[in-house]
Amino acid sequence: MNTQKISITAFSSISPLGNTKEEVWGKYLDNKHCFSKRFLDQQDTSVAALDADSKQIIAELRESDPKYKFLDDSVLFALAASRKAVEQAGWKSNDVFGINIGSSRGATDLFEKHYKEYIDTGKAQTLASPTTTLGNISSWIAHDLQSVGPEISHSITCSTALHALLNGFAWLKSGMADKFLVGGSEAPLTDFTIAQMRALKIYSRINQTEEAWPNLAFDFEKTQNTMILGEGAAVCCLEAGEKENAIAYITGVGYATEILEHNISISAEADCFQKSMKMALKDENLEDVDVIVMHAPGTIKGDLTELRAIQKVFGSNVPLLTTNKWKIGHTFGASGILSLELALLMMQNDTFIGVPFGEQQNQSKPIKKVLINAVGFGGNAVSILIEKA
């Protein structure tokens, strides 16, 4: 097998935490969550929406080109993040690089609006199909960046973004490409999407106050499901080999699929996570893994089964554990790549960011290796191991 390292040479995001590395890190150091209120079905609902500055960036991007006026937020989120990442990496418009940016639900808001109009009038707008096709995220980014490499889109529910990274990793390892832009984007804050999560009985019913965290991701003794939806996008630039401008290396990847007993089931000890983590860690001394950024969506079963899987794999050497969903909610297909962002920032600042209401964990050594987990409906797990450059 090709053993050369894969470099992460740039990373960019747009999320409730902001759109710059400094903003994001500063808000991680602040124990307040980033949730806001939304009125839905005669009650207040907590969601994690973009901050005001990020919304302004998206509004300006939408007005910057007549063609962009008709695009869904999921496309514009990814486009904004991609522009910044490519600039940071120093890639030029004539560089050959691949693009794989996926989404769990794609053009959620736009699709729902077009469908409602069709139900009301019996007619569909001219651009209804091209602007709601899942593949239009990567296509528009390729258009905007004028790239000439392979361009891929996919949806593998909540592990979509890490599957994109996995795919880019495979292209680079095979020698079929030298550079790949990978990530995920999600804009799911719509009434219908939230109603679906409520129908599954997994959406948080905790009233938000200054003292309370509506999403109890990482509370393994909670007695109710507390998932909250968030929106955002993140991408990273991957390059084959050890690059001078690398901010981290990908040194292990793993994947697995659960044998389903139910549409949204996961086994009591998350067999898929055990398999994906073992694959990613097959050449590693487990004691060298410093932190795991868990998927931990804030549901009773989701959080606890992943913890059990980690304990099964690591035994008595469980690393520091954390998640970001208590702060920014669950961003579906973008969640894995936003977890990677937290991993990179902890590594770069050599500072562990825990969950304020979780069991106290103390950092005792430098953060050099971090494992990131993601899983989606259908038990599609991915684990990525990164190492400090």
What was the pLDDT predicted at 3? Answer: 64
Where exactly are the structural domains of the chain?
6-240, 251-388
pLDDT band of 1, cuts 50, 70, 90 = very low
Does 367 have pLDDT greater than 90? yes
* Cβ-based neighbours of 2, under 8 Å, separated by 6 or more: 173, 174, 175
What was the pLDDT predicted at 262? Answer: 52
Asked, colleague to colleague, whether 6-240 and 251-388 share their fold, the answer is: yes
176-198, pLDDT tens digit by residue? 999 999 999 999 999 999 999 99
Please return the burial class of 29, using the count of CB atoms within 10 Å of its CB with bins 0-12, 13-18 and 19+. exposed
Pairing relationship of beta strands 320-322 and 369-376 according to DSSP bridges: unpaired
What was the pLDDT predicted at 265? Answer: 54
What was the pLDDT predicted at 340? Answer: 98
Does 2 have pLDDT greater than 80? no
Q: CA-CA distances (angstroms) from residue 41 to 38, 74, 92?
A: 10, 24, 48
Does 261 have pLDDT greater than 90? no
For the chain, give the longest Cα–Cα distance.
63
Least confident of 36-40, 48-52, 95-99: 36-40
Nearest to 319 by CA among 281, 358, 293: 293
What was the pLDDT predicted at 266? Answer: 63
What was the pLDDT predicted at 251? Answer: 96
Q: Which fold has domain 251-388?
A: Peroxisomal Thiolase; Chain A, domain 1 (3.40.47)
Average pLDDT, the chain: 94
59-101, pLDDT tens digit by residue? 999 999 999 999 999 999 999 999 999 999 999 877 899 999 9
pLDDT band of 263, cuts 50, 70, 90 = very low
Stated pTM of the model: 0.96
The structure tokens listed for 354 are 């825990």
How far apart are the C-alpha atoms of 351 and 63, rounded to whole Å?
Answer: 39
Question: DSSP alpha helices (H): ranges in the chain?
Answer: 21-29, 52-63, 73-89, 108-121, 128-132, 136-145, 160-174, 191-199, 271-280, 300-314, 325-328, 335-349
What was the pLDDT predicted at 260? Answer: 62
What was the pLDDT predicted at 180? Answer: 98
Please give the residue that has the higher pLDDT: either 135 or 14: 14
Domain 6-240 has CATH 3.40.47.10: yes
Pairing relationship of beta strands 151-152 and 98-102 according to DSSP bridges: parallel
Nearest to 301 by CA among 212, 375, 192, 382: 375
Q: CA-CA distances (angstroms) from residue 45 to 150, 212, 330?
A: 40, 14, 14
